[in-house]
Amino acid sequence: MSKTSWCLGAAATLLVATSAVTRFVVLPAVHQVPDDADFTMHFAGGMTLLDPQALQAGNLSGAIVRDLPVTVDRHVHAVHTSGSTVVLSDRTVVSGPQKQALTTIEKRWSVDRKSLLDRPIPKGVAAEPHRGLTAGFPLEPKKKNYPYWDSPTQTTIPATYVRTERRAGRETYVFTIRTSGPLADPESLRTLPPAMPRAAVQGLAAVAFPDRPVEPAGQADPVPLAYTATTDLTGWVDTETGVTVDLESTQAVTATAASASGAQAEVFPVLSLKMTTTPASRAELADTAADGAQALWLLGVVAPLAALLLGLALLGLAAYLERRSRRGRSDTTLPGPRTETAPGPTPDAGPPPASTAASNPEPGAGPASGSGSGSDSGSGSKSGSTSHAGSAAVSDTESNAPTTN
């Protein structure tokens, strides 16, 4: 194999190997939640809540604030990574019309860097145990239901796939999450009273439900309270990257008390938050999904395919050049007519010995034939050849002359 063909073959092999490594090693390594993951979603909506100052003042009619305009900022960022596990800080701040913080909730989740499902909490890292999705959907979502961790009720419920539709210019999978159950989140329960004075419960119930006032059972004072949490969420998840490009959510916590019938009845709302992604945030999230999808396409399709095609082209060129080189070498050994030139005497060779010319005289040898013999030799000095031929003729004449007595 020629040096050129060898170099081309080696380069082609390297390119084919690079194609495979890029697609099956590099892409999976980078297609995961990065160490410096950091993103924010912005929402707008309305909130119903209890006004603690009005409660303390005994102003029960003004203690329930309804449909207060609010903005919500949810900030998620990586705080620790360990192999295929990342710990995410998930902080949500609800702000009022004057930008005052009304509610702040912060959680930490240990999740898989690709599926975003729960993972064992790394040693020495603070995070909450859970089962299911929390801070987002898998990076490669599918048309199927996923387990979802509802933090208020501390239960795993299904995130149900509903349909596929365009949203903010992106193709998305639509998932819905709906649940209702006893409030079980320890941090939330610590901020709520386990009981309230009977008069306060009756007054708040009359304000909250004027058409159906609730009378707590028995004569207990204060009245024991329980709390129910409700979640109703719809998310539009990008089919290529798993980015949630839009979200509509309603979450509520309601106080309940035992009624005369013995069943738990709602007596007043503690908190109700209804929010949707802002148009600007929706556009930004859609751009993030588009950029991510393009990067995945370049790294997962274009780069490996280009390397593979270039490698195959170089292999073909190397094979062509090698065949051409072998054909050229075989042409030099093909049979055919040849022209050979008989070697003559070397320039330094002298005339043949006289004895040789004399012992083999031709008929009619004489000066003319001697001269012709010198010409036939085609080599040596002409005068030398003539001299030797003449000597031979004289010798023959003398030997044949008659003797005179």
Reported as a single tens digit per residue, the pLDDT across 155-212 is 999 999 999 999 999 999 999 999 999 999 999 999 999 999 999 998 999 999 888 7
CA distance to 3, 174, 192, per residue, from 10 (Å): 11, 49, 72
Three-state secondary-structure class, residue 347: coil
**Residue 51's CB: how many other CB atoms inside 10 A?**
14
Contact status, residue 46 vs residue 83, Cβ threshold 8 Å: no
- Give residue 230's pLDDT: 97
pLDDT, tens digit, 9 for 90 and up, residues 351-403: 554 444 444 444 444 433 343 433 343 333 343 433 343 343 334 444 444 44
- Residue closest to 136 by CA, chosen among 154, 118, 157: 118
Mean pLDDT of 326-352: 54
Mean of pLDDT values over 201-230 = 87
The Cα–Cα gap between 358 and 378 comes to 19
Average pLDDT (301-313) is 67
Cα–Cα distance measured from residue 81 to residue 143, given in angstroms and rounded to the nearest whole number: 28
Question: Which strands make up the sheet holding 244-258, listed edge to edge?
Answer: 101-112, 85-95, 64-82, 38-50, 264-277, 244-258, 226-238, 170-182, 155-167, 146-150
* pLDDT tops 90 at residue 64: yes
| Dist CA 217 CA 223 (whole Å) | 9
Q: Which residues contact 181 (CB under 8 A, 6 or more apart)?
A: 150, 153, 155, 228, 229
For residues 344, 349, 354, 359, the Cα torsion angle rounded to the nearest 10 degrees is -30
Q: Is the pLDDT of residue 268 over 80?
A: yes
pLDDT tier at 288, thresholds 50, 70, 90: very high
121 backbone dihedrals φ, ψ, rounded to 5°: -75, 125
Which residues touch 373 (CB under 8 Å, ≥6 apart)?
Answer: 357, 362, 385, 389
- Per the omega criterion (within 30 degrees of 0), is the bond before 337 cis? no
pLDDT at 112: 96
